[in-house]
Every structure is written in structure tokens, then in C-alpha cells.
Amino acid sequence: MSGGWQPLDVVQLSGLAETALSSAFSQIESIYSSVDMVLGAVSRGLDLPCMRGCSACCRQSVFLTPIEFLYGWDWAQKHLSHDALDDIVSRGLSLYQQHQELIEALEEASHQQRDAFSVARLLRFDCPYLGEDGACRIYPARELLGRLFGASLLEDGALYACSMIEEHLRDIPIAFPRAPQLARALQDLPLTSRRQVYPYYIHHLYHPDASSGSMPWW
């Protein structure tokens, strides 16, 4: 599948006024910073096995809102090389092709406001932002759920984490916040009523058959 990286105007893609998008981005930065501080405090002293290059949380399907994708893509266009961006686009397009049936099933469930968890749990792939060194290439601008992974709980009280962290914390009392509650911090921002995976967004931006300009998938 072809279709290399070309710079995109995130203001045009968002459908928002430039000032509105800038305000949303500023609020995202504030939310991310606040969440990072909270999670840093609750995980301090636990010696979690999370370190640069681990990438366990990047080898599962990562879900994010459209505004988070735009924020991350804007950051990527400003900070990454042409070759890195081209690689991300190529990998995103390939992943969409490989997992199209499940990704579109997730989209249908979202539009019909049905529980998409049974579909989401089947999606497993390396995030296109994952570098060859096992590190996230947009780490400062990564999505909220990625930040919550490893130091928070699901609604039912289960750890929102990989098996390594589950094993590490097996006999340790923890007081992690619940991920869904923290994730709701985004709900007052525009373009946050749904979530999708990175390949879905990349496909709709860069696939040769995708429409440009107006983006109904927001």
C-alpha cells in the first residue's frame, strides 16, 4: 500500500477555529501534566518495571479521541524527521489493512453507542509510533490512556496494566486511581465523544482513496 507522509493542516482537519484548537491543545497539555503528577505520586517507591524501551503497553491496541490524535500528530509534524513520519504513515496504513474488519467493527459499535470492549480486546498490534528502539516516538504527546496504563485501575478495580506489572504488584497494597474517572477529564473538550486506534486515523488521512478536506470521521 502506498501513500507517504505529507504535512497536514491540523486546524483544517479539526473543523475548529484556530483559537479554539489552540485552546483545546493547551487544555490537553494541562490535563496530561496533572495526570502525570498524580500517577507519579501514587507509583512512587513501587519500582514499577516501566522504563524506556519496555514497550509492553505499546504492543496492544491504543485508543484515543480525535482531539488527542490531532494533538499528537501536530507534535509529530513539528518534531519528527520526514523519514520517521513516512515510516509511521506506512505502518499505520499496513496495520489498518491487516486489522480492517475489527477496526471497522469498533467504529460501527461506536456509532451505534454499543459496548465495544468485546471488539477492542481482540485488537493487538504494535503502535505505529513505536520506534525500533522500543520507545514511543511521540512520548511527550502520547494519549491519555497510554499515560494511565500501568498506574491505574479499571472500573471494576482490576489493574489497568500488563502482566509484568500485575506480577510485580501481586503482594503490594496499592492505591491507584481509576482510569475511567481520569479519562473523563477530556470530555469537555471538542472532538472527544469517541475513541479509535491510530491506524484508523492514519488510514483516513493518508490512504489514496480517503477523502481530504472535510473529515466526517471526527
For the chain, the domain total comes to: 1
- Summarised one tens digit per residue, pLDDT across range 94-105 is 999 999 999 999
Closest among 202, 198, 208, 201 to 2, alpha carbons compared: 208
pTM of the entire structure? Answer: 0.93
11 part of a folded domain: no
202 part of a folded domain: yes
Which pLDDT tens digits describe the chain residue by residue (218 residues)?
455 899 999 999 999 999 999 999 999 999 999 999 999 999 999 988 887 777 778 887 888 999 999 999 999 999 999 999 999 999 999 999 999 999 999 888 877 766 667 777 788 999 999 999 989 999 999 999 999 999 999 999 999 988 899 999 998 989 999 999 999 999 999 999 888 999 999 999 998 876 554 465 66
117 part of a folded domain: yes
- Summarised one tens digit per residue, pLDDT across range 150-184 is 999 999 999 998 889 999 999 898 999 999 999 99
Q: Is the dihedral of CA 10, 11, 12, 13 positive or negative?
A: positive
3 part of a folded domain: no
215 part of a folded domain: no
pLDDT of residue 214: 47
4 part of a folded domain: no
212 part of a folded domain: no
Q: Which long-range contacts (CB under 8 A, 24 or more apart) does 208-213 make?
A: 208/2, 208/3, 213/12
8 A C-beta contact, residue 160 and residue 153: yes
pLDDT of residue 213: 47
Burial class (CB in 10 A: 0-12, 13-18, 19+), 69: buried
Domain that residue 79 falls in: 22-206
CA distance 195 to 2: 26
136 part of a folded domain: yes
Q: What does each C-alpha distance from 87 to 57, 73, 167 come to in angstroms? A: 20, 14, 34
Report CA 39 to chain centroid distance, whole Å.
17
The residue ranges of DSSP E strands in the chain, in sequence order, are 63-64, 196-197
